[in-house]
Structure 1
Amino acid sequence: MFVGFRNYAKLFGNADFRTDVINTLFYAVLYAPLVVIVALLFALLLNRKDLKFVGFFRTFMFLPYVISMTVAAIAWDFILSPSLGLIPYWIGKLTGIQHLDLLGTSSTAMITIVLITVWKNFGYFMVIFLAGLQGISQELYEAAALDGVNTWQKFRYITVPALRPTFVYIMIFGLIGSFQVFDQVFIMTSGGPDRATETIVYRIYTEAFGNGKLGYASALSYVLLIMTLIVGLCVLVNNAHHEKEEIA
């Protein structure tokens, strides 16, 4: 039965949907820049020529990305368990805070999921940054050194502009991935506590397969698609604007 825009009207009038949007945007705004910064820092470190066992460290940093998110989420769920987990145990030993429940507290649950996802995915983006760094001509750095340019100035005026296409690629895919966050939420918190980690994709799942509201879930999916397109276009437009400024 065709219901027109009734599902969309119901959607935008629902307070729970606004909560899901806020949670998803909070996750995206926190995750995307953080994973870029962590990946870039490790890429700069592992791109050094004087570092020993560089192959081992690169493999070690990339290894979490190979692990399934489902497996990683289950493992972290045990590690963060208030009664059995290693992290709450050592936090209790060091600070005296006993049975700390990072995933069961509204103020820390989403941040904890973000940090776990950064740990899981930064190795992939690190490899991309490494490829970009190794594509920069060393003659530029040597010429800058002859002119007395310090390390920060080399990074600011040589490395960052040369990595701009890499930054754009990683930011777009990082944001798209953050809008699609589901596995870790489903396994570790089930959207709780008090909807603090309920995202749009998790809501689509519960509405479609839990409540049987396929039309409503479809409306949610279209809204998510539009949000993803808008964010991707904003990143591309911002990059184009910066490129025009540099040319000018």
Structure 2
Amino acid sequence: MSVTGAKMRPTLSPSRRRAARGWLFLLPLLALNLLVIGAPGAMSFVYSFTDWSGLGPANFVGLDNYVRLFSDEKFLQALLNNLWWTAFFLIVPISIALAGAFLLSRTTHGQVIYRVLFFIPYTLATIVVASIWSNIYSPEYGLTAVLGVDLNLLGDPDTALASVAVANTWQWWGYLMVIFMAAMSSVSPSLYEAARLDGASGWQQFLHITIPGIRPTLVFMALMTVIWSFLVFDYIYIMTGGGPAGATEVVGTLLYTTAFSTYEAGYAAAMGIVLALISVVMVGGYLALRRWRGWDI
């Protein structure tokens, strides 16, 4: 009887057993993500349809919060600031990092030292970097005071957001440079040798060999830059708090203020859902582009 039962018992192929074993190892991580990310995300989605204050009962208000969002001047200005921030970080830090990585990749002496020096700012805590740059910008004892220029960069609505972006760039570009250098190391040196024999300049080599060779990495880092730009919070909150007069307010800081200062947690949840949808659209667009172009990371 036991022999017959053993013969009738279905068996998994080796590949399926390996896959099942892998999923068993992943289960704790999946459960943790479901608990830490999935559950709060689902609750935020539910609360975005209510007028919840953060305490007490929540009353269902339908789509009122979402309708209010796109007629709220503060939210629209914050979203516009996010778009400006995204454009800045897609252009300035990435351009500096690409140039730095290309120049260092052609350097034979001291390359590791330069990598470490440029990467060090990224290892510093955000509060440290933001505090350093706040002191540099100080109109009382900062750089402008030393130079004798009467200019308050963080207190002027026309310069505040750009000044915070420069501080963030100082920390961020070195990380990008190291990533791009790692990608450039996989580009065949024979391509550069052939280009030099054909009389190609350094700029032409960069444009027609380096950029195509690291395009998947470049596009992926651009995607992550877009996502991180829409989630920016720490530098703005520490250096300006969203001021002056809302000139540096982004959706992240507005969300925080709305939830914990004016106690409109339901409305803040709607802002969070909009940010999440933007991230989903960006990731979906990137995956579609990678499949269309046949890129591999």
Equivalent position to 1:72, from 125, 129, 132: 129
TM score, norm. by length of structure 1 = 0.89
For the 8 Å contact 2:191–2:209, the answer to whether it is kept is: yes
Sort the Cα spacing of 1:232 and 1:35 in 2 relative to 1 into closer, same or farther, 3 A. farther
The whole-number CA distance in structure 2 between the counterparts of 1:46 and 1:24 is 32
Percent identity between matched residues is 37
Structure 1 position 32 matched with structure 2 position 86: no
1:110 CA drift (Å) = 0.6
Which amino acid in structure 2 is aligned with residue 24 of structure 1?
N
Structure 1 position 89 matched with structure 2 position 145: yes
Structure 1 position 111 matched with structure 2 position 162: yes
1:13 CA drift (Å) = 1.7
Matching residue of 2:31: none
1:168 CA drift (Å) = 0.7
User: SS at the partner of 1:107?
Assistant: coil
1:144 CA drift (Å) = 2.0
Matching residue of 1:206: 257
Stretch moving more, 62-71 or 152-161 = 152-161
Structure 1 position 186 matched with structure 2 position 243: no
1:105 CA drift (Å) = 0.4
TM score, norm. by length of structure 2 = 0.75
Task: Note the residue ranges of structure 2 that are not aligned, 5 or more in a row.
Answer: 1-58
Q: How does 1:1-248 map to 2 (within 5 A)?
A: 1-50=59-108, 52-85=109-142, 87-92=143-148, 97-98=149-150, 100-235=151-286, 243=293
Which amino acid in structure 1 is aligned with residue 100 of structure 2?
F
Deviations 1:180-210 (A, max 9, x none): 1111111111101110000000011111111
The whole-number CA distance in structure 2 between the counterparts of 1:153 and 1:45 is 14
Sort the Cα spacing of 1:45 and 1:152 in 2 relative to 1 into closer, same or farther, 3 A. closer
Task: Note the residue ranges of structure 1 that are not aligned, 5 or more in a row.
Answer: none
For the 8 Å contact 1:32–1:178, the answer to whether it is kept is: no
1:238 CA drift (Å) = 5.6
The whole-number CA distance in structure 2 between the counterparts of 1:114 and 1:158 is 31
Rg (Cα) greater in structure = 2
RMSD across aligned C-alpha pairs, in angstroms? 1.9
For the 8 Å contact 2:66–2:270, the answer to whether it is kept is: yes
Matched residue count: 237
The whole-number CA distance in structure 1 between the counterparts of 2:107 and 2:130 is 35
The whole-number CA distance in structure 2 between the counterparts of 1:238 and 1:114 is 28
User: SS at the partner of 2:61?
Assistant: coil
Which amino acid in structure 1 is aligned with residue 88 of structure 2?
L
1:149 CA drift (Å) = 2.5
